[in-house]
Amino acid sequence: MNNLLQQLLQRPEIITPIAIILGAISNALSRYYLSRFISYFLAYTFPYGNLFVDLTRSFGMDFFSLYLDEKPFLFHHILD
User: Residue 37 has what pLDDT?
Assistant: 82
Count of domains for the chain: 1
User: Residue 18 has what pLDDT?
Assistant: 85
- pTM for the whole structure: 0.55
Distance CA 48, CA 54 (A): 10
User: Residue 52 has what pLDDT?
Assistant: 81
Residue 59 structural domain: 2-79
- Show the CA angle centred on residue 17, arms to residues 11 and 21, nearest 5°: 140
User: Residue 46 has what pLDDT?
Assistant: 76
Tens digits of pLDDT across the chain (80 residues): 678 878 877 887 888 888 889 888 988 888 888 878 877 877 667 777 778 878 887 887 777 777 766 655 555 555 55
